[in-house]
Structure 1
């Protein structure tokens, strides 16, 4: 008789028993077991770690990802130095005459944050390719994250959705087309517009404790150094509150860079001016290559401590305001 395939924690790899809700070794919530075959009895992991029959997550995807669209833009996503897994995700694509990018940061206090961030980023860019509207892309991403909740496992454990810990993530979606930049966001991943000539701008507003405290009059430095600073107040997930539409549009009247990133990068240069200076330094050394700049920025974050997952997308905007392949 063949021994049953062991159940293994997706975070640390330790074995656990059927019915366990948390890993005894690392405390990770056990919502998505990693195993050689699927509970459905018909499928095995595909190249991305999903069951090739029912689509269930079986194993984690690669920890570092890059996408290089040449002069049009690129992203790099890296686990950093202190996390076992990369819970960030990103997607980028040429969409008609423009470029779409989505960056997502999985909420590590919930189960399977990587499933949430990957679903959100992929769905957002796919939606932009179909309808070209950034808020519709956010709504599509939100639905994809809800779908990532393993309802069958919750039912098997007798846990109601209202009482469950579920996959969740932040998301920022940017669309550069012609002379326009459109951005939508939920959470504290950010988009910046850094013109070659003019004032740099953080286009997004964080949904976070620190942002709320600063809006209420708290000193910015004190708010950002508070232990609660990175507590997010909005996210995507089955347990999230209804989304408040937040879309920002900008007319681009000259060359510059659109940067989309998670807090694994911007936390090391939190002010707009310091972030702009950081980007300018690395863009100059990259000699006009978005992928080289993204790699360099990720290495900067790693050298600065690498305390979180790091994802950054670099999108050059040319004189006429259009992203070009």
Structure 2
């Protein structure tokens, strides 16, 4: 994920030749470090350390990675390296899952090309299928320091606000939608504050991330976003719907008549024009409302997934087919979609959060 900056000069990554700017510390395409040795050595700014925000029940940074080596099946030592082949074990932050209810689940993965996972998610749901689900995804900007820490803190702060209560409004659908949109704005405010709390005051590249959240409550679906992480509604019967509009250079080109394929494959395809962070121009989410009257899939994801299948209709087909192959189980479906994105190249971190209505 790149922030659109007009003051930087474009250049290329020495590892893969991808487009980067002089302010970038990591290549968006391959994850290579662009300025070795320039990052501060303070633990708070060390981009290779574990995040200070722990991930659910996943062991904290002081614990050795559990399980066998993913490369050869050997034993992982206390130092985090395989005792057989020497491969460094994956960190808990590289891949994690959440499933608060059987009908809602999410998977967040580092991908193949990046050296760290800057994506994050936080989800919640009531036990009754189709009743209430809260899905939040944040994608850390690769050129900023500690974006992996900030994105996770932001997602969890937003979820906490959304969990605090249900939006009743005045009892009508329109007032309930307005009240839910106001809660989404409050959630974005909390997420922004969390990013600021995880930003060093003197950081040359302050932490930043995208934000997207979807709230489903009793047939009313409200989504809001800042940046280019997305929410979709895929009804079993009916037209698939993209619930969010990107804040990106690509989206601006599409609005002027440039084809989606051309805009989303250009050198600045993932340069965003709005984000959460100290240098953000505005973090108020743009919201949209959808009435849900039948079965379907709610998808909230980062660009690590949609980059390989952007438009709503083909992405809906992919989700439906994947779900059919996995017996309609949300966690297995989300995991399979992450695997699919990695099979396409895994050039970015990937987050897939699903609710089966």
Query: Is residue 135 from structure 1 mapped to residue 166 from structure 2 by the alignment?
Result: no
CA–CA separation in structure 1 for the residues paired with 2:318 and 2:162: 29
Q: Distance in 2 between matches of 1:214 and 1:35?
A: 36
- Taking the aligned partners of 1:303 and 1:35, their CA distance within structure 2 comes to 25
Distance 1:104 1:234 in 2: 13
Number of paired residues?
A: 268
Is 1:62 aligned with 2:72?
no
Task: Give the alignment's TM-score, normalised by structure 2.
Answer: 0.70
Aligned to 1:118: 152
Task: String of CA shifts for 1:212-236, please: whole Å, max 9, x gaps.
Answer: 1111222222212211111000000
Contact 1:28 1:111 in 2 (8 A): no
Aligned to 1:39: none
Q: CA 1:73/1:28 → structure 2, altered by over 3 Å: closer, same or farther?
A: farther
**Residue 26 of structure 1, CA deviation:** 3.2
CA displacement at 1:108 relative to structure 2: 0.3
Runs of 4+ in 1 over 4 A off after TM superposition: 22-25
Cα contact 1:187–1:232 (8 A) shared by 2: yes
Aligned match of 1:204 in 227, 239, 244? 244
Report the Cα distance in structure 2 between the residues aligned to 1:81 and 1:34, rounded to whole angstroms: 18
Report the CA distance between 1:165 and its aligned residue.
Answer: 1.3
Provide the residue aligned with 2:172 in structure 1: none
Deviation at 1:131, TM superposition (A): 4.2
Closer, same or farther: CA 234–48 of 1 in aligned 2, 3 Å: farther
CA distance in 1, matches of 2:193, 2:103: 29
Contact 1:29 1:110 in 2 (8 A): no
- Per the alignment, in what secondary structure is the counterpart of residue 69 of structure 1? strand
Runs (5+) with no aligned partner, structure 2: 1-24, 26-32, 50-57, 63-90, 167-182
Shift of 1:94: 2.1
Task: State the 1:135 CA deviation.
Answer: 1.7
Does the CA contact (< 8 Å) of 2:192 and 2:283 recur in 1?
A: no
In structure 2, what is the equivalent of residue 323 of structure 1? none
Q: Distance in 2 between matches of 1:95 and 1:167?
A: 32
Which of 234, 259, 263 is matched with 1:194 structurally?
Answer: 234
Q: Which residue of 2 aligns with 1:87?
A: 118
Deviation at 1:61, TM superposition (A): 5.3
Counterpart Cα distance in 2 of 1:310 and 1:104 = 11
Q: TM-score, normalised by structure 1?
A: 0.77
Q: Which residue of 2 aligns with 1:100?
A: 134
1 CA distance for matches of 2:122 and 2:283?
22
Q: Which runs of 5+ in 1 are unaligned?
A: 1-21, 37-45, 51-59, 318-325
Distance 1:249 1:35 in 2: 39
CA contact (8 A) 2:46 2:146 kept: no
| Aligned with 1:258 (options 289, 298, 303) | 298
The correspondence of residues 25-64 of structure 1 with structure 2, limited to 5 A, is 26=36, 29-30=39-40, 32-33=45-46, 48-49=60-61, 62-64=93-95
Distance between the aligned counterparts of 2:281 and 2:211, measured in 1?
15
Q: Residue 78 in 1 paired to residue 112 in 2?
A: no
Structure 1 residue 194: Cα displacement: 0.1
* Secondary structure of the structure 1 residue equivalent to 2:143: coil
Partner of 2:276: 236
* Residue 298 (structure 1) aligns with: 338
